């Protein structure tokens, strides 16, 4: 039976050349990039699902999702919550 997971990501284009990135801050190495906002938002759930699935298969504990409000206060970009089923 699949379980739903929900994690926030910081979406921003504050990178060299205007590159768009969705960074799942509390999940080390879990991020994706795209040519525009829509592209990166479309790619983010796949990146999250792959990262979580790898951890679950390895038997590693999943980090707790950071608080959305804390990420917003940091002012690093738009904060979006992504949900995936694994």
The rounded distance, in Å, linking the Cα atoms of 61 and 53 is 11
| Residue 40 backbone phi and psi in degrees, to 5 | -70, -35
The DSSP secondary structure of 33-59, one letter per residue, reads EESSHHHHHHHHHHHHHHHHHHHHHHT
What pLDDT was estimated at residue 17?
Answer: 80
What pLDDT was estimated at residue 47?
Answer: 98
Q: Kindly state the average pLDDT of the residues 51-63.
A: 96
Determine whether domain 4-85 maps to CATH 3.30.70.920: no
Sheet holding 20-23: strands in order across? 31-34, 20-23, 4-12, 78-85
Q: Kindly state the average pLDDT of the residues 27-52.
A: 97
Confidence of residue 9 (pLDDT cuts 50, 70, 90): very high
Q: Kindly state the average pLDDT of the residues 66-85.
A: 96
The rounded distance, in Å, linking the Cα atoms of 42 and 40 is 5
Confidence of residue 14 (pLDDT cuts 50, 70, 90): confident
Look at residue 53 and tell me whether its pLDDT is greater than 90: yes
Look at residue 84 and tell me whether its pLDDT is greater than 80: yes
Query: Any idea where the domains of the chain sit in the sequence?
Result: 4-85
């Amino acid at each position: 039976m699949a379980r739903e997971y929900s994690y926030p990501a910081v979406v921003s284009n504050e990178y060299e050349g205007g590159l768009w990135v969705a960074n799942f801050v509390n999940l080390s190495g879990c991020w994706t990039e795209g040519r525009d906002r829509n592209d990166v938002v479309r790619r983010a759930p796949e990146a999250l699902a792959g990262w979580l699935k790898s951890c679950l298969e390895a038997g590693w504990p999943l980090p707790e999702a950071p608080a959305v409000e804390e990420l917003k206060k940091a002012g690093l970009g738009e904060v979006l919550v992504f949900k995936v089923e694994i």
